[in-house]
Structures are given as C-alpha cells and as structure tokens.
A and B are shown apart, each in its own frame.
Chain A
C-alpha cells in the first residue's frame, strides 16, 4: 500500500511523461477518480453514445452508432483526428473468402482463418473474440467497402507490403512452420493502396469522411478526464475539458473508451510492460498515454495482457537476408528466419533477453548499410566471427554446420524454414548484425488493456459487466496478443470491436 502513488504524484509523473505534445495543451494526463453522479449539478450536453478517441476504434463506433440513428459525440484530445491508426500501415486482417481474395484467385475459409489465428495466438488466444471475428469477417469487409474504403485488385507476393499499388498480401505467419501445416495459408492483409506504408492515413481519411457523412462531428482538443458513475457503478457520462473549461456530458446509452494504448506513458510502460520500455521506437501518436485504460481501472475494470505488445524487428525487406540465421547469445538458432517480423521481434525480446544476432554470408547480406541494424562483427570464417562476438566456443560453428548440411538439400529440420529462404552460408565474408534491444530497430506498442466481452462491454475484477461502459481498440485487451503474428490484427480488431461496442450500446436499455 505504501508505495501506491497518491493522486497528486500520479498527476506529476503523467505530466512529466507528457512534455507537451505539439500544439495541444496536454496539461491533464491524470486519471482522476470517477465522479459520482450526485456531484454533477447539471449535464452540459448529452448524446446516446459518447466516444473517447478518434482512431479506428472510436470512428468505427461513431459510424455504426450514427448509422443506427442515435446521437453521437466523439472527443479527441489531440488537435488532429485519426489516432495512431492514421500513422499505421492501414492493414486490416480479413479472410474466409473476401471478394478481393476471390477476385485475385485465392481460396480461403472461415475455418482456416480461425485455425490459424488460434494456433498463432498460442496460450493467450481470445477464443470467443476470434470466433466472432472470423465468422463475421466477410460482413466486416463489406462494411469497410460500404464506408468508402477502396482496395485495388492487385496482389503483392512480397512479405512486407512495399508495393504501392497492391491491396492484398500474405501479411503474417500463415506460410511459416507449423502454421502452414495446420491451416491452409491465404493472403489476408487487406490494405488501401498507398506509398511508403501510409495506408493508415488513407484508411482513416476514408473512415473520417464517412463519419462526417453520417453527421458525426469529431471535437478535437478535448480531453476526457473522468467517468461519471451512478451509485451502483453504472457509467452515466464523462467529464471533459477543453480550452473553455470543464463540462459534463451525459451518455444515455454508453461511453466508449477508444483512446489507444499506453506506449507513450513511460511510468505505465515500466510498470506493466518492462520488456517494451527499452525498445526504440515507441510506435504511436502522442495520445497513447493509457488514459482510457486508467479511467476504466479507476472504476474497477479488469485488465488483461498488460505486458503484451507489438514488437516488430523488421529484418526484411530485402528477403534474401532471411537465408541467414538468427541466433541467441548461445549461438543457437531460436526462431525461423522466415517468420513474420513481429514473431522474430517477440522471440528475441521476450525469450532471448533482448539479445541476439543475424548471421549472414556474402550472398545473404544487405546490399547497403541500413538504419535498422548495425554490424557487430565481420570475419572470413564462422569460427573467427564466433570469437569476435564472444559466443561460446564452437556454438556458432555447430549451428552453421548443421544448418548448412540440411539447407543444401532445402531442408530445415530444426525450425522448418521454408525452402525459398534456405541456402548454406558459405561465401565469406561472414557478418553478424546486432539484434540487441539497445542496437536494433524494434517498433513497439502495447496490447494490454481493459477486459471486454465480445460486445466490447468492459468487465470488472469480479467478472461482472460494468453497465454503460465499453472499450475498443488498444484501450481494450483484444485480438492482438503476443506474439503479434500478422499485420492488420490491431486495426482489424479496432474497427470490428469499435462497431460491436456501438451496436450493443445502441440496443441497450439504460
């Protein structure tokens, strides 16, 4: 108890973490305790559904609610709407035979999609959410298209979407062992065509325009500060603040917390996700301060997966480097090099202590120095490289000898790397790139958040639903868990469960 910060110190560290964010006055990062409705003298404004945050989750909720004929308010803390979603790649993970998959000649089924997602999620798989997400994936595709999202009829065979005109690709670990044996692989990364991975900007421009057509106004520069609760714990509204001061907003049907994760709140990060803290970059817009999560916690909401995160170590492109081997500090291979880069990052960060090397020969090297990685050693023999790196004697030599023996035949009995990425490492110079957390480019953000039902209702620590409170996107513990096994899971989850929140709230009899 003694080390629990008082609200005063909590406010202080949150302020320190903020250090101003562009033009926006972010003086208030504190999550104040909830207000009892008895202290609210009057409501300054009211609507059916009141939404905190204007990223993919908040805007999807706003469109869905508004489309069902109810009054909506959306509050965005920053000066610009769109959230971290608008800085993302804009990929949405969808399958089961979408019109785009079919048009491009790919077969897929809901069962294959579900089997893959469950297997790749591992022990943390949120089964009920995954089932619903897969069953309704085709309808979700139609919803995005109906709201103006445009996909081109072009497939890209690249592991990372660098093709600016393509809209469909294998965006995750579908073709990696053992998943390719468990479920028929299909390309499920759906992305609006965009240059330099700015699909997120395009996606959010489209969804924001649709929200506007639905009559939704996004109020920017407005910070949500407190939940207003009834004596029985039901959420009745929000206290917000902007340049004009404090206002109480009544939510007749529900409040949706869609305020992002907590990657930009260093104290929360150190406490809940210490593996992610030393990584650079912390990936997301300045609003990812964990404010929505803390507001939920302040009224007893349960949290899940708080240490989980997106940990992308982008070794590729180019894909030829994946013919090299990724080893830990014992000189042992630890993850199939053709894995999705979130899976490689996860393995090194969470299982190998944030240390390791990519070992390449002349044929599998990068063609030019690259900002993502720095060389840790270069030598004419593997033995000399092993000594340079200070690896245990003969460890790397054994690893490479074993790897080469099978790679020559196109086999990888240890990790099952696909044939396309197998080649013996024989051409000197041999090089090692440092995959240490303090040296390599690890893009990270958080997956932990409020526990929710399949209807995005927030659940308290006793397992009961908190009436009137919803959460979606990275404010909720959703479909993305560690390891992150495919691009588009986070945006897919945010858009889908943002809609679920609105559907349930609109139908709710408060």
Chain B
C-alpha cells in the first residue's frame, strides 16, 4: 500500500514536471562524481558513505542503491515511517526525494533543506553510487 502511495506521489511529481519544467526535473545527462563530492558534503553532517566508517547521526550510505530503506544493520534511529516504507532506494527515487524532501517519507527523522538544482542532484547521486561492493 505504501509502495503504491509512494508511486502515486512519484508519478504525480513526474506529471507536475511535465506540465511545468524544469525546476525539479531530473538532469538529462549523467552525473559527475568528482563534482558530486562537494555537493555531498552537507550530507556528511549525518552520513558516511565509506565502507567501514559505520553509522553517524544517520545510517551509513554504503551500498545504498538497491537497498530497502530502513535496513542498514546496527542503525537504531530509523523513524517508523522509514522502517515501514517498503521503499527501495534507486537513483531515481533519491533524485525525486532530494528535490522535494516533503514529497514522500513524511515523518522521517531526516530534516534538511533539499537540493533544488537537478545538476547538483545528479552529481551527488553519481558520487554516492561509487560507494558499493563491486
């Protein structure tokens, strides 16, 4: 059910984007991981992406893409919203969420101001995607 809600939210977001470009549209070219290092810096207030660094104020983001939200082992501070969301983190989902953090997972403990620029989000996601087992 929640997956469905999230999907509807995403689709309506996509609809809004089509009707009214380009504010929150995903970037149309691949992200630059080198530039993404600096864009990701604010996230380090709470998250480490590096393998073995462990959890910080927020959960580790190592290997986040493809992972079910709220399932990093050993992190004790997930909100009920995140734990019960049944969402799988994908680049597209993270892009939509970073563009408008209020759009889904309302009730998460993660509070930040969002990343309005699509290029910034694409670069951040490209940077984050590097942190995974190969």
Contacts and interface: CB of A to CB of B under 8 A. Distances in A.
Contact of B45 (A25, A87, A196, A374): A87
B119 interface: no
Q: Which of B42, B105, B107 has the most CB of A within 10 A?
A: B42
A80 interface: yes
Nearest to A283: B45
Contacts of B50: 371
A282 B120 CA distance: 15
Main DSSP-derived SS at the B contact region: loop
A197 B57 CA distance: 8
A300 interface: no
Contact of A22 (B37, B38, B55, B110): B110
B38 A439 contact: yes
B99 to A, nearest CB: 9
A407 to B, nearest CB: 32
Q: Which of B108, B109, B111 has the most CB of A within 10 A?
A: B111
A: contact size bracket: 35 or more
Interface in A165-221: 195-198, 200-201
Contacts, number: 90
Interface string B32-50: 0000011101111110101
B31 interface: no
B116 A19 contact: yes
Nearest to A23: B106
Interface string A5-22: 000000000000111111
A284 B107 contact: no
B42 A79 contact: no
Given A87-B57, A196-B53, A80 B111 contact: yes
Contacts of B38: 280, 438-439
B37 A371 contact: yes
A18 B50 CA distance: 29
A387 interface: no
A438 B113 CA distance: 20
Nearest to B57: A87
A476 B43 CA distance: 26
Nearest to B40: A371
B108 to A, nearest CB: 6
B44 A22 contact: no
Interface string B72-111: 0000010001000000000000000000111101111111
A24 B110 CA distance: 10
Contacts of A285: 111-112
B15 interface: no
Given A22-B110, A196-B53, A280 B41 contact: yes
Q: Which of B46, B57, B113, B114 has the most CB of A within 10 A?
A: B113
A281 B47 CA distance: 12
Nearest to B60: A196
B102 A25 contact: yes
A79 B53 CA distance: 28
A287 B107 CA distance: 16
Nearest to B58: A87
B46 A20 contact: no
A80 B116 CA distance: 23
The 8 closest A-B pairs by CB, nearest first: A281-B42, A20-B102, A280-B41, A22-B111, A19-B114, A281-B41, A23-B106, A286-B111
Given A196-B53, A196-B54, A283-B42, 12 more contacts: A17-B113, A19-B116, A21-B112, A23-B107, A25-B102, A195-B55, A196-B48, A280-B42, A284-B45, A285-B112, A286-B112, A371-B44
